[in-house]
Amino acid sequence: MDTQAFKRSLHHSERYNRRGFGRANEVASNLEKAYQSSLIGSIRDNGYVLQHGRLQVKLAEAFGFCWGVERAVAMAYETRRHYPSERIWITNEIIHNPSVNEHLREMDVLFIHAEGGVKDFSCVSDGDVVILPAFGATVQEMELLHERGCHIIDTTCPWVSKVWHTVEKHKKQEFTSIIHGKVKHEETLATSSFAGTYLVVLDLDEAQLVADYILGQGDRAAFMKRFAKACSANFDPDQDLQRLGVANQTTMLKSETEEIGRLFERTMLRKYGPIELNKHFLSFNTICDATEERQQAMFSLVDEPLDLLVVIGGFNSSNTTHLQEIAISRGIRSFHIDTPERIGDNNSIQHKPLGEDLFIESNFLPAGSVSVGITSGASTPDRVVEHVIQKLIHLTSD
């Protein structure tokens, strides 16, 4: 499929919209009421620190809603205002935050059901309105909705679209796209749908396995078993790892993406030499600015003297998970929660340790003076962070 030609055709359709409806002022008050916080504003003005009795809260200097998320949520609200009576669907969660998605459900926005990772579009009819989420949709989903006669509202973050352009450049030049991402994440699924030949690597360890294979140090059968569900159809590691381009899911850990890029550059340099390197390796910067800012702010926060750290965001939010990884790497006692309700009035917290199931910890706030660091993922509204802080204030007001 010529994905670039399809996108050009789609973008010229009268049933496609990626710019909104000019109703920003009409929905501004609803967005402010649902997501903004005067308390968070005052903490920012006070050097990102709140002192309340024995509790000290230190906020990361960059956290919460990014521009791409704000844009997607605002477009969803505008869409309901513009189509007051039509059926409106979202192909997935608009963003990875339960409270935001619940607000949309309350506005009678419907969500495409998925079973085992497979979405069921049979319920979508000609003339329905379908919102594509901030992390995008696959080109096959767009084609299906376009052919079905739907009105498509595309809220895909421009940083995600930038990655799509990158893998299309790889495809045009017959390079295999090495995508640093989570193979089942919606953004990576969308990105791979725009690629030609591709291979998804989760982390530096998997990237090293690929590099070793390129240098003749791997077993083909073991390699294909490991990456069977993370590569394009008919992937041949002996042929398809000769010319590589690197891209990434925009919410991955910046430092790891950069290291993966350097690893493959060194690998191809070692195999083909400096004169031939440019024929075998391409690299473009596809790291999201907002993701980078929040990760850098987290690195600064974990340098502060903290008793514990609370990371707020959807459990399926990749960028939030990587913030949690930073806390863990520094040995700080930390808790990943998705909603304020995870904190109980009995000083318990139901949180999700990295890579594990939900766990309830009792007496998570120590007695005496306590310093709590707080950050949140790019899909978390300030209002949610405010409610978490209010819970902490309540628990320490003894």
Q: Which residues are catalytic?
A: 187
- Checking 32-38 for CB contacts under 8 A at 24+ apart, the result is 34/103, 34/381, 34/383, 35/65, 35/73, 35/100, 35/381, 35/382, 35/383, 36/381, 36/382, 36/383, 37/381, 37/382, 37/383, 37/385, 37/386
Q: Hey, what are 133's tokens?
A: 């989420």
Report the 3 state secondary structure along 251-305: CCCHHHHHHHHHHHHHHHHHHHCCCCHHHCEEECCCCCHHHHHHHHHHHHHCCCC
Bridge partners for 178 per DSSP: 199, 246
CA of residue 159 relative to chain centroid, distance: 11
CB 286 within 8 A of CB 247: yes
DSSP 211: H
Task: Answer positive or negative: Cα dihedral of 215, 221, 223, 228.
Answer: positive
Residues constituting the chain = 398
Strands 109-111 and 16-17: unpaired
Task: Give φ, ψ of 273 to 5 degrees.
Answer: 85, 160
Q: Give the max Cα distance, the chain.
A: 70
Apex CA 71: angle with CA 337 and CA 86, to 5°? 100
Write b or e for each residue in 227-262: b if 16 or more Cβ atoms lie within 10 A of its Cβ, otherwise e: beebbeeebebeebbbbbbbbbbbbbbbebbbebbe
Q: Hey, what are 206's tokens?
A: 């998997």
Apex CA 112: angle with CA 108 and CA 117, to 5°? 150
